[in-house]
Amino acid sequence: MLNVIELFAGVGGFRLGLEATNGFEVVWGNQWEPSKKIQDAFDCYARQFKDKGIHSNEDIATVDERKLLDLNIELLVGGFPCQDYSVARSLSGEQGIQGKKGVLFWEIVRLLTELKPKYVLLENVDRLLKSPSKQRGKDFSVMLASLRDLNYSVEWRVINAAEYGQAQRRRRIFIFAIRNDTAYIKDRLNKEDSQLLHKDGFFAGKFPVSEEVSIKHKPHSFILPEDIVQISDQFSAKYLNSGIMRDSVVYTEELIPIEEPPIVLGDILETNVDEKYYLSEKAIEKFQYLKGPKKIERTAANGHKYVFSEGGMAFPEPLDKPGRTMLTSEGTVNRSSHVVEDPFTKRLRILTPVECERLNGFPDNWTEGMSERMRYFCMGNALVVKLIERMGNRILEIEEEEQAFLQRDTIQTTLF
């Protein structure tokens, strides 16, 4: 069993996926929602994983990382917010650098600095690769440089869950970091970056891709500056949907997934749905407007007039395709909410909380006990559990490599 700490745990999607492999034990999990008296997500997490590990409901910035040393952490996981990762030199130059206050990625860096786990697995929205808009790729570059400086190599991949057999077209970036002193890294020193991304790296085995190279987005590589402040102030880069960083060398390539048949929306619908989920005529009219194509003349703050336009969306949702990306506003009268024609009543309705749990691969009624609004909100923030299960199994394969390497090394030392 590998010991894990889970940060920004939400309602436990990472933990569910890892524990499904029977190879991980989450010994400490932290979930804290600032400025909220009722900690719905934490309460759900603590209830579902009762008597299993330590459950922390405190601001991560107040956690003393030294008190976690005795837990012998080998894997740190977390789905952290997408924020501005700017850094600056501290007032006293010899004190190094300081990150922007309140940015939760720096809490990850703080814990990694002390705990030094062998493996790190993080999740974020895919726009992270392009942010901020005025300095494309700066934020991700700062993250990569931070992990580099902590002696990790990194591989990332943007994964659309529906392309790998799941029920939702949810695109997220997953970031796998591994310490440079591992057998995994040493065994792959002489392998080309492209070979790692296509075949021998972290993601390819569980999320296979075509050998074909994208014509539209050509692979490229570059070197990250050593000075992280320089990266924050001046550096920009074009990151594609996958890539690898070893030392300061970054290689990025647009991979083409070998798609698996997805679960379709019709397959996750409940029967005998409560009347409250069905739409009134007024709500139907509102949804028709919100989801329809439109061109609206607007006036900016400076008086400039412009035309805001957006294309139409399917209404109702096709039941023979996976669901769209679920947002935290799911279940409200909102352009992004799913509206389906119930196959049994032929009436229009929104998704139920249980159906939203199924879109992410959670067990039915996982979030039961909180308000319905919060159930939708938590699922809009959650990740797709089955993806994490695949990644967990991949980490276990790498750990087997590690243990085999250590055994060989012990035998050779004994012989010589």
Catalytic residues: 82
Q: Are 231 and 141 in contact (CB under 8 A)?
A: yes
Residue 62 and residue 405: Cα distance in Å, rounded? 38
Cβ 33 vs Cβ 54: under 8 Å: no
Task: Judge whether 121 and 391 are in contact, CB under 8 Å.
Answer: yes
What Cα–Cα distance (Å) separates residue 5 from each residue in 12, 117, 292? 12, 10, 44
Question: What is the DSSP track for 128-161?
Answer: GGG-STTSTTHHHHHHHHHHHHTTEEEEEEEEEG
CA-based R_g, the chain, Å:
23
CB 340 within 8 A of CB 355: no
Asked if residue 316 has a cis previous peptide bond (ω within 30° of 0), the answer is: yes
Pairwise CA distance, residues 285 & 238, whole Å: 42
Q: In the structure, how many helices (H) and strands (E) does the chain have? A: 11, 16
Q: Name 365's Cβ contacts closer than 8 Å, sequence gap at least 6.
A: 354, 357
The pair phi, psi for residue 265, each rounded to 5°, is -55, -40
What's the CA gap between 124 and 78, in Å, rounded? 9
Sign of CA dihedral 194, 204, 127, 261: positive
DSSP 8-state assignment for residue 209: B
Q: Are 49 and 15 in contact (CB under 8 A)?
A: yes
Q: What are φ and ψ of residue 7, in 5° steps? A: -105, 150
